[in-house]
Structures are given as C-alpha cells and as structure tokens.
Amino acid sequence: MAELPDTREKLTPDTFLRGLWEENPVFVMLLGMCPVLAVTSTTMNALAMGLATTFVLVCSSMLVSLLRNWIPKQVRIASYIVIIATFVTIVDYGIQAISLELYAALGAFIQLIVANCVILGRAEAYASKQRLTTTFVNSLGMGAGFTLALLALGTVREILGNGTILGISLFPADFQPWIVMILPPGGFFVLGAWLLLFNWLRLRKERKQTEQIGVTAHAR
Amino acid sequence: MTADTQQQTPTETRVPSTPAWAMLRTLGGIALISGLLVALVYQFTLPIIAENQRVLTEKAVFHVLPEASVKHDFVITDKGGLAPVGSGAEGEVVYGGYDAQGHLVGLAITGVAVGYAGPIRVLFAYDPDCRCLTGSKVLSSNETPGFGDKLDFDPVFLKNFEELDARLDAEGKALANPIVTVKHGTKSRPWEIDGISGATISSKAMGRAANAAAQHAVPAIERDLAWLKQQH
Amino acid sequence: MAKGIEIRTSPHLKRVMSVDKIMRTVVLALLPICAFSVYQFGLSALLLLTTTTAVAVLTEWFFARASGKGNTVSDWSVVITGLLLGLTLPPGFPLWMAAVAAFVGVALGKALFGGLGYNVMNPALVGRAFVQAAFPVAITTWTPAFAPGRFAELIPSTLTLPFMQPIPVADWVAGLQMDGWTGATPLAIQKFQHIELPASDVFTGMIAGSAGETSALLILICGLWLAWQRMLDIRIPLSVLAGAALMALPFWLLDPGHYPSPWFVLSSGGLMLAAWFMASDMVASPVTARGAIIYGLFIGMLTVVIRLFGGLVEGVMYAILIGNAVGPLISSWTQPRVYGATKKAKESE
C-alpha cells in the first residue's frame, strides 16, 4: 500500500480510481484471497460476492470515519470488527431475502466477509483518519476494484469451465468444458494468469516511464 | 492488555491513563448501534426469507410431482405413522401432493447419503398406486461439476426414477427389495438403479439416498394411506 | 546422478557427459516404446506422440525466446517431456487436448520455474494432471489395441475439433467386433470386478491402456539398457517397484480374490513407465543415495495405496507428483555427514 499522508486527503478522481488499478485490492495488494479463489466459479457468484463485499466495505468504512474521533485507539480493532460484523449480518439476511439459491451457492463465504482483510485494512489505514466524503469515495473505489477482480476471475472460469456466461450458453452444444476451471485449482490458475498480466503491464509502464525520464534528461 | 502493562511501569513518568470510560462508552455505543441495526434488518427480512424457503420447497416438490397443485406437509411420528405438521408431532417431513380435484398424486420424501464430496440431499417422489419412486431432485450437493451434477440432468440416469420399485415386504416394515445402484448397463431388476459410468460414487450415493428415504418413509405412508387420501 | 567419487592416479581420462548427451540417450531408449505403441494403436498413436512433442518443443522455444535464455530446445530434454506425455495419454485422446497438456506441462511445469534444472515436478506429469482434472471423461476413454486397419484409419476421437467434446468412439469400437472388449483397462477390471487378467498378457502389452503404458516387458528392457548406460539412477526405479510390490503383498495374501497380486501390480498400468522414465527424472528426484531409495519406496507405496483405496484407478501419476514435491525434503534429511563433522557440531550450526 502506498504511504497515505497524515493530513486529510483532498477529494480527487484519484481517490476513487486508486482502488481500481494502482491499489487494486486483489491484483496489486493481494488481499482477501479467500473469497477470490472460493466463490468465483461463476460470474453470478463473483458479482454477488463483490457487491456484498462492497456494501460491507462502504458502510463500515463510513461508520468508522464518522466515529473516528470517538474511538479510543486501545479498542479500535474490536470496534471495527463489531461494526464490520454488523453489516455482514445485514448482508447475510439481505441475500437470503433476495435469493436462497444464491445464498446456498455463496455458502459460508458471506459470513467470512468479516475476516476479509480488505475491509479491516480500509478501516485501519484510511477510514480512521479521513473525512466521511473521501472515505465514501475511496471505499467505493476499493469495492469496485474488488468486484472487478472477482468478475475477471469469475467470467474466465465460467466461460472455460462451463461454456456459459451468466448462465447463457456461448458455444455450440458439444463444447468441451474444462472442468478443472470450476474446481479450486482453476481458481489458482486463473488468478496466477491475471497476476502475470497485471505485473507485466505494470513493468512495461514503469520501463516506459524510466525511458522517458532518460530521454528528457538527455535532452537537457 | 497494553493498558495494563503501561500502568505497571512506574519508571515512566508520563503514563497515558487508560481511557476506561471512553472505551466502555465506545464499545457499548457501537454494540447498541449494531444490535439495533441487526434486529431491524432481521425483523424486516424474516417474513421474506420464510416465504423464499416455502417457495423453494414447493418448487422442488412440484418438480418431482408434476401433476400436483396443492401441497400438504406431514411428519413421520415415532410410532411409524404420519401426522399433520403443527399437530405437535416432530420428525422428518413428508410432502403430500394433491391435484385440483383433491386426489393424492404422490408424496415427496427426502433422503441423504454421503457422496464423493460430502452429503447429497435428494427429494424423491413416491407413488402409492404403483408403489414405486417416480422422480428425483437433488436439493443440495457438493459433487464435482460435470460429474456429480449429472444426477440431476443426465436423461439416461433420470430414467431410473420413472418407475423404481419400492414395494414393502410382507410385514410392511421395510422394503421387499432394498434399492441399490448397479454398474452402468447392468440394471436387470426394477429396484436397481443403473449407475453413471465415470460418476460411480455419486450415483451409488443416489441409490443409498433413495433406499434410506424409502425405507424410512414408505412404511409410514403405506400404514396411513387411507387417511392420507382424505387430507386435501 | 549420485556416483561415488573415484580416486585414481593419472592419467585422467574424463568421460564427456553433457546434458544433451544424456537426454539424447533417454530419447533413444524411449523410441522402441514409441514404436511399439504405434504398432499397437496405429496412426492415432503416431499423431498423438508427434503432437505432444511438437507442441512441447514449440512452447519451450517460445518461453526461451521470451525470457532471453537462448535456444534451450537443443538440450533435447523437452523432447523427452513431449514423448513421455504422449505415452501416458489414451491413444484416441483428442489432439487439441494433447496440445493443451503439452503446453501446460512445459509452460507451468517447467518454464515458469526457470527452465531445465529448476522444475520442481516432472513437466510431463504436470501436463497430464492438468488434463486429467480438466477433461476427466476423455482421459479415461480407451480404445482396443491391435484394431484391424489401425494403420489405415484414425480413431474417430483423435481429430476432434478444438474446444469441442471428443467424438464418441463407442460405435466405432462396436464396429470393430473385437471379442472380449469391455472398454476398461486391466486395472479397472481388477478394481471394480476383481478379475485379474492373465499377467502374461498384461506384461507383454496385449491389452488396452495408454499409448505407451501397455508393454511392461519392453519398458523394462529399455529402462535396463538406460541404467546400463549409466544414464539413470537404478536405485529409483528398483525401489519404486519394490515399494509397490511390498505394499501390495500383505493385502494379496489376506484376500487374493479381492486384491491384486504384486506381480499384477508391477506389470499393469503406467507403473513400469513411470518408475523407469518419470520417477527417475534427474531434476525432480533427490540427489542422495539413501534419499533416492526412500523416494522410490515412497512413490511405489503411495501408488498402491491410491490404486487400492482411492477413487482413481491408476495412482502412479499423483504418487510421483507428491514424491517430487517432498523430494527436496528427503534430500535435506539424508544429507551425508561431512567427514569429520560430529552430530553436535551440525546441530549447533
């Protein structure tokens, strides 16, 4: 994670965009790997998990930010966990009310959002120091980044593993599904491939930047 | 804990005092807020969740008993008979399906068996007229996608449950012929299930689930059959 | 290769033993097995072996170029990977799946670890394990050996379009009218029906199975030749076979009607090929002499445990992959003591 300034951050587009790319919780910070690997076997599950996590992330970050001057540092982790657990319980009931089939597919991983370090990390590193508005925008960006990453895994795994996307068939009927992709090892393979791509892109960008610096230095 | 150790070090002159009151106030306050929120959401979603549950069960029951349009729930009592749900008796639930005219179409019974990856819960349809199982639907399983989930989709395998013999023995306490899964292509008797080659363990579990469900529920159903037919 | 240090007086004549020479010899030893496989299964086996080898070589070439390592194809090791992979697949395996297996094996199993000498596991088996998990039905679809007209026509599933399900072979097999064909390998027949096929047939390869796993006798001869050429550590294959036989013996004595005989265990399935050509992979096996024996026994026993009690019919692939994974641990346990060093001194390090 990049060093955050002690002073309050000004609201800029970057407050939101950081979570999508530069500080993407999955592809850059490698946080919250448990749901990333476990529930991304289909696009729908990935989307639902991403949205549930985003909801908990945004709500708990905002509440933490609201109460930040009120929470003594000795009990801050306990307070954060109680706040996070509250919203996880709410999401748990919410998903049961929306669809029991989806609830069964996500299984224990909804409750396990409590232990998702993306959320506790946001509360500790950002929400406890920043104003409500920037916290809202920043955690929304982080949640969007997390959801995008889950979708990136979920779509690849569903297309290869089942030949469908959101349950809609993409291929002729005799498509051969790659069953390994729906199984846990497939999660690791796809995550590894995405990490490879992300790191390659980042390295290339960095190399270009250094080259440009070299060029300007030479021009001088 | 940090607070304790800080208090026990007298050498340090500026010991930050433990804000006991602030800690209590904060934790208490947060607990109150969270309790309130959770209780509120619980109250709000409870009827919706119960309704979802009902719809889901109904869907499964009508899936295995396609001719039924009304569902009544019964429980298997300790004495080996049936009683309506809500009459105080407790036990496994059996769903009776009735058509529009109030005729008993069949009953949906649940069976559980351990498959390749954990328990498989299956709903079976029992037809008292032919004394056989006439349908199946997997309620929950963790079987390998592409293999174990054939239990619910493979048309050849589902043919097994069009007329699977479940007659009782002379005493009426158990099946005359326990339902078993046999190797693919070797089904020769009406109480045998033709297994899926490549998903042997899952299809065997299906056989055990069918046997467990029938052994448990069919004696009770047959005992109270006359009474059941009037419950519409 | 663990060889004792030889102390001699001069003149010293050094034997040239380069990587590519070892690898070329291994390829040479594999060729008779490949030839027998083609003789058994016909054109399909030939195409299968060509595909896996070609894709493996191309993948190696691509990654070597991409990482700036220069040409590593010329050390021949990737040819072994390709041939071994082809030999472990069913003869009618769709070619596109075989290409996936070869790519994954070389890319994931070798290139990403840094190429030859750095791979943790046997690349051919990594590729096979991947397709076993991805296409479990295709990899357990067997076709009969010595089909009439096998040199004139292909097994229909061989030329399946990429990303499509294999073309069913049941009708084609029925059309051959082979007597006694059940579509199962001897191992599967033993496991599920407890009927042991005559071990002599199994040993000489007159049965169904993967392209190159059927003739234990031929593999034994080629492996022994390789050992005689000092191109592999004979301790490993011998202890794999010993481990498997020892593990199978008590069960067989207890209930010969249910469990296979040690003789059957040794001659069936891919055990022979795996013991001589895969477990002995120089990079992925322990380097110490004692370590090699422990490693071999471990793989042999695990194979039998998986065969007898697991959900799978053949366990040697996973046994070797697990053996590869614990190999470094075995190596470090069995480090020979440095001359003069005491136990205490070692502990205090």
Mean pLDDT of A165-187: 84
Q: Cα C255 vs. chain centroid, distance in angstroms?
A: 30
Cα-based angle A13, A17, A22 (whole degrees, multiple of 5): 130
Query: d(Cα B197, Cα C49) in Å, to the nearest integer?
Result: 28
Q: How many CB atoms lie within 10 A of CB C336?
A: 10
**Does C181 have pLDDT greater than 70?**
no
Which of B91, B48, B100 has the alpha carbon at shortest distance from B73? Answer: B91
Quick one: pLDDT at residue A151? 93
Over residues C266-295, the pLDDT tens digits come to 877 688 888 888 888 877 888 888 889 999
**Does C310 have pLDDT greater than 50?**
yes
Query: Does residue C31 contact residue C142 with C-beta atoms inside 8 Å?
Result: no
Q: Do C137 and B198 lie within an 8 Å CB cutoff?
A: yes
Is C140 part of the contact surface with chain B (CB cutoff 8 Å)? yes
Q: Name, in order, each residue with C-beta under 8 angstroms of C230's C-beta and a sequence gap of 6 or more.
A: C1, C3
Query: Does residue B218 contact residue B82 with C-beta atoms inside 8 Å?
Result: no
> Which chain A residues have a beta carbon less than 8 Å from that of C165?
174-176
> Which chain B residues have a beta carbon less than 8 Å from that of A85?
34
Tokens matching residue A97: 């009310």
Interface test with A, best of C165, C167, C321 (most A CBs within 10 A): C165
**Does A6 have pLDDT greater than 70?**
no
Average pLDDT, chain C: 82
Which of C236, C112, B68 has the alpha carbon at shortest distance from A192? Answer: C112
In whole angstroms, how far apart are CA C104 and each of A182, C85, C111, C125?
17, 11, 10, 10
Mean pLDDT of A139-165: 91
Q: Do C134 and A172 lie within an 8 Å CB cutoff?
A: no
Q: How confident is the model at residue A33 (pLDDT cuts 50, 70, 90)?
A: confident
Question: How many residues does this entry show for chain A?
Answer: 220
Q: Name, in order, each residue with C-beta under 8 angstroms of B36's C-beta and a sequence gap of 6 or more.
A: none
Is C310 part of the contact surface with chain B (CB cutoff 8 Å)? no
All structural domains of chain B with their residue ranges = 49-228
Q: Do B198 and C192 lie within an 8 Å CB cutoff?
A: no
Query: Does residue C154 contact residue A199 with C-beta atoms inside 8 Å?
Result: no
Roughly what angle, to the nearest 10 degrees, separates helices A132-162 and A184-219?
120
Quick one: pLDDT at residue A152? 93
- Give the closest-approach CA distance of C124 to chain A in angstroms: 18
Write down which chains contact chain C via at least 3 CB pairs under 8 A.
A, B
The owner of tokens 């230095």 is: A217
Query: d(Cα A201, Cα A155) in Å, to the nearest integer?
Result: 21
Mean pLDDT of A79-95: 93
Q: Name, in order, each residue with C-beta under 8 angstroms of C121's C-beta and a sequence gap of 6 or more.
A: C109, C284, C321, C324, C325
String of DSSP letters for A194-215 = HHHHHHHHHHHHHHHHHHHHHH
The residue of chain C with its CA nearest to that of A172 is C164
**Does B1 have pLDDT greater than 80?**
no
- Give the closest-approach CA distance of C187 to chain A in angstroms: 24
In whole angstroms, how far apart are CA C230 and each of A36, C5, C17?
49, 15, 10
The owner of tokens 């396990």 is: A112
Quick one: pLDDT at residue C348? 47
Element (H, E) at B104: strand B104-115
Kindly tell me the sign of the dihedral angle through the C-alpha atoms of B115, B120, B123, B126. positive
Tell me which of C14-23, C238-247, C310-319 is least confident: C14-23
Query: Does residue B30 contact residue A79 with C-beta atoms inside 8 Å?
Result: yes
- Give the closest-approach CA distance of C133 to chain A in angstroms: 5
In whole angstroms, how far apart are CA A181 and each of A41, A189, B149, C117?
8, 8, 16, 29
The residue of chain C with its CA nearest to that of A192 is C108
Q: How confident is the model at residue A10 (pLDDT cuts 50, 70, 90)?
A: confident
Tokens matching residue C104: 């994954």
Using only C-alpha atoms, what is the Rg of chain A? 20
Tokens matching residue C257: 């009607």
Q: How confident is the model at residue B16 (pLDDT cuts 50, 70, 90)?
A: low
**Does B2 have pLDDT greater than 70?**
no
Average pLDDT, chain A: 86
pLDDT greater at residue B83 or residue C242 = C242
Query: d(Cα C54, Cα A125) in Å, to the nearest integer?
Result: 52
Write down which chains contact chain B via at least 3 CB pairs under 8 A.
A, C
Mean pLDDT of A140-165: 91
pLDDT greater at residue B223 or residue A49 = A49
Query: Does residue C163 contact residue A171 with C-beta atoms inside 8 Å?
Result: yes
| Cis check: omega of the bond before C11, within 30 degrees of 0 | yes
Residue A91: CA atoms inside 13 Å, Cβ hemisphere, count? Answer: 29
Q: Do A176 and C136 lie within an 8 Å CB cutoff?
A: no
Mean pLDDT of A11-28: 86
Is C137 part of the contact surface with chain B (CB cutoff 8 Å)? yes
Quick one: pLDDT at residue C343? 58
Tokens matching residue B126: 């029992």
The residue of chain B with its CA nearest to that of A69 is B26
Over residues C28-70, the pLDDT tens digits come to 889 998 988 888 888 888 999 999 999 999 999 998 888 777 7
Q: Do B26 and A79 lie within an 8 Å CB cutoff?
A: yes
Is C312 part of the contact surface with chain B (CB cutoff 8 Å)? no
Quick one: pLDDT at residue A156? 92
Sheet holding B93-98, edge to edge: B82-84, B70-76, B93-98, B104-115, B118-127, B132-140, B164-165
* SS3 call for C127: helix
Query: d(Cα A172, Cα A175) in Å, to the nearest integer?
Result: 6
Kindly tell me the sign of the dihedral angle through the C-alpha atoms of B68, B72, B75, B81. negative
Cα-based angle B165, B198, B63 (whole degrees, multiple of 5): 45
Total CB pairs under 8 A between chain B and C: 9
Q: Is A59 exposed, middle or buried (0-12, 13-18, 19+ CB in 10 A)?
A: buried
- Give the closest-approach CA distance of C278 to chain A in angstroms: 23
In whole angstroms, how far apart are CA A7 and each of A126, A129, C221?
11, 8, 76
Q: Do A176 and C163 lie within an 8 Å CB cutoff?
A: yes
Quick one: pLDDT at residue C157? 83
Quick one: pLDDT at residue B71? 84
Which of A24, A190, A192, A38 has the alpha carbon at shortest distance from A115? Answer: A38
Q: How confident is the model at residue B6 (pLDDT cuts 50, 70, 90)?
A: very low
Over residues C207-246, the pLDDT tens digits come to 667 777 767 888 888 889 988 888 888 889 999 999 999 9
Is A89 part of the contact surface with chain B (CB cutoff 8 Å)? yes
Query: d(Cα C113, Cα C331) in Å, to the nearest integer?
Result: 19
Q: How confident is the model at residue C204 (pLDDT cuts 50, 70, 90)?
A: low
Residue among B22, B34, B45 whose CB faces A96 most closely: B45
Residue among A171, A172, A176 whose CB faces C135 most closely: A176
Residue among C130, C135, C163 whose CB faces A175 most closely: C163
Is C168 part of the contact surface with chain A (CB cutoff 8 Å)? no
Quick one: pLDDT at residue B9? 47
- Give the closest-approach CA distance of C17 to chain B in angstroms: 47
Write down which chains contact chain A via at least 3 CB pairs under 8 A.
B, C
> Which chain B residues have a beta carbon less than 8 Å from that of A104?
140
- Give the closest-approach CA distance of A53 to chain C in angstroms: 30
Pairing outcome for strands B93-98 and B82-84:
unpaired
Over residues B182-203, the pLDDT tens digits come to 877 778 888 888 888 767 788 8
Query: d(Cα B59, Cα B63) in Å, to the nearest integer?
Result: 6
Quick one: pLDDT at residue C344? 55
Residue among B146, B183, B201 whose CB faces C311 most closely: B201
Tell me which of A124-138, A140-154, C2-16, C82-96 is least confident: C2-16
Using only C-alpha atoms, what is the Rg of chain C? 21
Query: Residues of B numbered 19-38 whose beta carbons fall under 8 angstroms of chain A's beta carbons: which are they?
Result: 19, 22-23, 26-27, 29-31, 33-34, 37-38
* Percent of chain C residues past pLDDT 70, beyond the cut: 83
Quick one: pLDDT at residue C154? 80
Query: d(Cα B190, Cα B163) in Å, to the nearest integer?
Result: 8
Quick one: pLDDT at residue B181? 87
- Give the closest-approach CA distance of C135 to chain B in angstroms: 10
**Does B145 have pLDDT greater than 50?**
yes
The residue of chain A with its CA nearest to that of B35 is A86
Q: What is the DSSP letter of B112?
A: E
> Which chain C residues have a beta carbon less than 8 Å from that of A195?
none
Which of C182, C171, C173, C167 has the alpha carbon at shortest distance from C93? Answer: C167
**Does A94 have pLDDT greater than 60?**
yes
Is A215 part of the contact surface with chain B (CB cutoff 8 Å)? no
- Terminal alpha carbon distance of chain B: 65
Quick one: pLDDT at residue C113? 85
Over residues C120-161, the pLDDT tens digits come to 889 999 999 999 888 887 887 777 777 777 777 788 888 888
Quick one: pLDDT at residue A84? 93
Q: Do B198 and C311 lie within an 8 Å CB cutoff?
A: no
Quick one: pLDDT at residue C203? 66
Query: Does residue B129 contact residue B116 with C-beta atoms inside 8 Å?
Result: no
Per DSSP, chain B holds a count of helices (H) and strands (E) of 6, 9
Tokens matching residue C1: 């290769």
SS3 content of chain A, % helix, strand, coil (to 5): 75, 0, 25
> Which chain A residues have a beta carbon less than 8 Å from that of B146?
177, 179, 182
Q: Do A161 and B145 lie within an 8 Å CB cutoff?
A: yes
> Which chain C residues have a beta carbon less than 8 Å from that of A41?
none
Q: How confident is the model at residue A198 (pLDDT cuts 50, 70, 90)?
A: confident
Query: d(Cα A163, Cα A197) in Å, to the nearest integer?
Result: 23
Query: Does residue B214 contact residue B179 with C-beta atoms inside 8 Å?
Result: yes
Is C135 part of the contact surface with chain A (CB cutoff 8 Å)? yes
Residue among B3, B29, B45 whose CB faces A97 most closely: B45
Q: Do C136 and B146 lie within an 8 Å CB cutoff?
A: yes
Q: Do A175 and C138 lie within an 8 Å CB cutoff?
A: no
The owner of tokens 């299809």 is: B203
ipTM reported for the complex surpasses 0.85: no
Tokens matching residue C297: 């026994």
Q: Do A90 and B38 lie within an 8 Å CB cutoff?
A: yes
Q: How confident is the model at residue B104 (pLDDT cuts 50, 70, 90)?
A: confident
**Does A218 have pLDDT greater than 70?**
no
Quick one: pLDDT at residue B182? 84
Is B88 part of the contact surface with chain C (CB cutoff 8 Å)? no
Mean pLDDT of A91-98: 91
